[in-house]
């Protein structure tokens, strides 16, 4: 239900990213390509019932006040509001701008938006 990061180094962590789904693989690719051992990526495989104790156990390894929820969906969709409600964590989000549609409809724009989300997650 919760998969911790084995690439990042606990003592160097400055930021923790929580995510689920395909965006994990995009984040992982950037992390390893740039050799970012200061960013931890935690993948949630189950959101309901929320594995709060397992997530908290994973987060106790690091001294960070805020964690970031990264999602492909626009900020008004996806699991962000659910995470705010059930996690009990101080969470900021990284997502596409709010939209009435979950996708742009154009592969080229989607790819650019996805790259922007991944880049933003590592810059914050």
Longest dimension (CA), the chain: 42
**Residue 12: alpha-carbon gap to chain centroid:** 18
CA distance 9 to 40: 8
Which carries the bigger pLDDT value, residue 96 or residue 117?
117
| 124 close to 15: Cβ distance less than 8 angstroms | yes
Summarize pLDDT for 51-82 with one digit per residue, the tens.
Answer: 999 999 999 988 888 899 999 998 888 899 99
> Residues 4-30: what's their mean pLDDT?
93
pTM: 0.90
What pLDDT band is residue 33 in, cutting at 50, 70 and 90? very high
Looking at residue 46, what DSSP letter applies? -
Q: Is 111 exposed, middle or buried (0-12, 13-18, 19+ CB in 10 A)?
A: exposed
CA distance 114 to 96: 8
* The pLDDT value given to residue 99: 79
* The pLDDT value given to residue 11: 85
């Amino acid at each position: 239900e919760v998969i911790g990061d084995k690439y990042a180094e606990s003592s160097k962590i400055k930021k923790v990213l929580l995510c689920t789904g395909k965006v994990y693989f995009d984040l992982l690719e950037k992390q390893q390509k740039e050799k970012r051992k200061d960013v931890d990526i935690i993948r949630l495989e189950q959101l309901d019932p929320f594995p709060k104790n397992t997530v908290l156990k994973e987060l106790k390894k690091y001294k960070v006040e805020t964690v970031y929820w990264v999602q492909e969906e626009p900020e008004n969709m996806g699991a962000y509001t659910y995470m705010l409600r059930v996690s009990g964590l101080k969470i900021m989000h990284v997502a596409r701008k709010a939209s009435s549609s979950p996708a742009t409809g154009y592969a080229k724009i989607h790819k650019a938006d996805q790259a922007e989300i991944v880049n933003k997650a590592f810059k914050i």
